[in-house]
Amino acid sequence: MIRWQRRGSFGEAPRRRLGTAAAAMLVVLAAAVNFLAGLGRPAYPIWDESYYLTSVERYEAGIAQFASHPPLGLALIAAGDALLHPNRGVDTRRVGWDKQIAGDQIPRDYSFAGVRLASGLFAVLGAVLFFALMRVLTRRTLSALALASLYVFQNAFIVQFRAAQLDAFQVAFVIAALLCFAVSAQRGSRSSPLLELAFGVAYGLAVMVKVNAAVLAPLGVMLVVRRIAMGWRSVPRGPLLLTAARDGAIMVAGCLAAVTAVFTLHFALNRVPPDAHSPAGRKDLAFISSAYSAYLHHERPLSPAVVWDAARDYSRFMTADFKGVPRSDPNGSTPLEWPLGRGTINYRWDSTGRETAYVQLVGNPAGWLLGLAALIASLALVALPRPGRRPSAHPERRALTIMLLLQYLVFMAVHLYLGTHRVMYLYHYFIGLLLTLCLIPLAAAEAAERWPALCAQRTALLGAMCVLLWAGFFFYAPLTFHWYLTHGQCEWRDVLQHVVSCQ
């Protein structure tokens, strides 16, 4: 709703203020346009869709299978396709024959709208959760609405989330975990079992989409350690440590409950043994244990023991697959390049002879650089003493900033290590990018508290940020939405930095 309110004690005249529900609806509408409109185009597989389409087909046939990633994201892609069911009447049986399919092997009338639906829907959900996170960090609806543009108009998110890929699901769950973390951090020493449980569940679900979300575990640890530190001198230590142990146990229980539920549903829904005559079936059968095989052949019921053994089989498959990932790729990039948005990927290009349309993973430079600037500013603001050494009026903001900075450093260290064992891609930075975006309102608020003149410019600065974000979004929109460009128009997109090799 929209209501008239006074701003507070500044003596200003009443002004019109946008209600939270109305602002959230605006976010939903803008996100729906960017993430859902025209999902069926282009009608060709984009990047890892050539793997995930095959998994969807086996899901719909109820065939037991393993994959390179945990099953939640793949199950959600399959659920979206089953919900829309655009390929009724199309013979898709051969799509699931192997673990990968080439574009020219996909049936001519195959619609991609169904397999991309769930990813687009979760992208919209992620936009709303990001708005809620910004609302918690700023405590201002209008500021949160402006900051939501960092997500809604981020070209890299749009390209990745409009495809039948896993990142939209993981990012939505990661934002949910960050939202729970931020609310918990602002409560100081007061814990909330419901919040700890929600954090654990969201974290567990993110891990069950892609394992690299496990890097966020320090967030929960830091929450518990901070509460112990805050009460160490004022609260009896026995009850304090018991409460901390309870909070940590609830987080772990929520995570384990999410992991167990996902695996159980996966094994319950896919009861048909793999086809030994198909390449996909032979690859999966090599990792199926006797206990899991007995379940698939209806020789024993689904039980915790079966789920445990089957989950171990799944983990062994993922481990073996990880060892098979190459260490280099022409499209790969290193974590040191990611904060600058380098390492763009051409997912596909289609030419008419005069014009060419691209699907290019390229980030909105305004949002990417704002995140980098916030990262640097946060480090400086934490390190530099406050003017006159006055204590902060919002100590929870400083604590939240420090914890997010530490989490970012852990994220980068882990991915630098992973980069020595396998090729990495720009979209592996999405969690790190989200952490830097969270630092934007925190660094801005801290700077405004130190230098009050900035507070008067808040609206102008937010407006300028939105203009830059929209300009960056529209500049790269043709590469995001597969719009046709002439060679000269394409070359214009390389003005800021080389992002696409124009055909």
Domain ranges of the chain: 49-269
Whether residue 310 contacts residue 404, with contact meaning beta carbons closer than 8 Å, is answered with no
pLDDT score at 235: 84
| Residues 6+ away with beta carbon under 8 Å from 82 | 60, 114
Cα–Cα dist 196/98, whole Å? 41
Per-residue pLDDT at 6 exceeds 60: no
pLDDT in tens, 351-375: 998 999 999 999 999 999 999 999 9
pLDDT mean over 338-354: 93
Does this model's pTM top 0.85? My answer is yes
pLDDT score at 11: 35
pLDDT mean over 390-407: 86
pLDDT in tens, 482-497: 999 999 999 999 999 9
Per-residue pLDDT at 79 exceeds 80: yes
Per-residue pLDDT at 18 exceeds 90: no
pLDDT band at 329; cut points 50, 70, 90 = confident
pLDDT mean over 248-257: 97
pLDDT band at 9; cut points 50, 70, 90 = very low
Cα–Cα dist 143/465, whole Å? 11
pLDDT band at 3; cut points 50, 70, 90 = very low
Task: Return left, alpha or beta for 143; rule: phi > 0 is left, psi -120 to 50 is alpha, else beta.
Answer: alpha
pLDDT mean over 10-30: 74
Residues in the chain: 503
pLDDT mean over 282-306: 95
Cα–Cα dist 375/436, whole Å? 6
pLDDT band at 388; cut points 50, 70, 90 = low
Per-residue pLDDT at 17 exceeds 80: no
| DSSP H or E run through 487 | helix 487-492
Residue that the structure tokens 């891609």 belong to: 425
pLDDT score at 127: 98
pLDDT score at 230: 86
Tokens of 240: 């304090």
pLDDT mean over 289-295: 95
pLDDT in tens, 128-182: 999 999 999 999 999 999 999 999 999 999 999 999 999 999 999 999 999 999 9
Per-residue pLDDT at 446 exceeds 50: yes
pLDDT score at 456: 75
Task: Return left, alpha or beta for 14; rule: phi > 0 is left, psi -120 to 50 is alpha, else beta.
Answer: beta
pLDDT score at 393: 66
pLDDT mean over 393-401: 86
Q: Terminal CA-to-CA distance of the chain, rounded, Å?
A: 49
Cα–Cα dist 402/397, whole Å? 9
Per-residue pLDDT at 345 exceeds 60: yes
pLDDT score at 158: 97
Helix, strand or coil, per DSSP, at residue 195: helix
Give the whole-number percent of the chain exceeding pLDDT 70. Answer: 95
Cα–Cα dist 151/18, whole Å? 20
| Residues 6+ away with beta carbon under 8 Å from 217 | 203
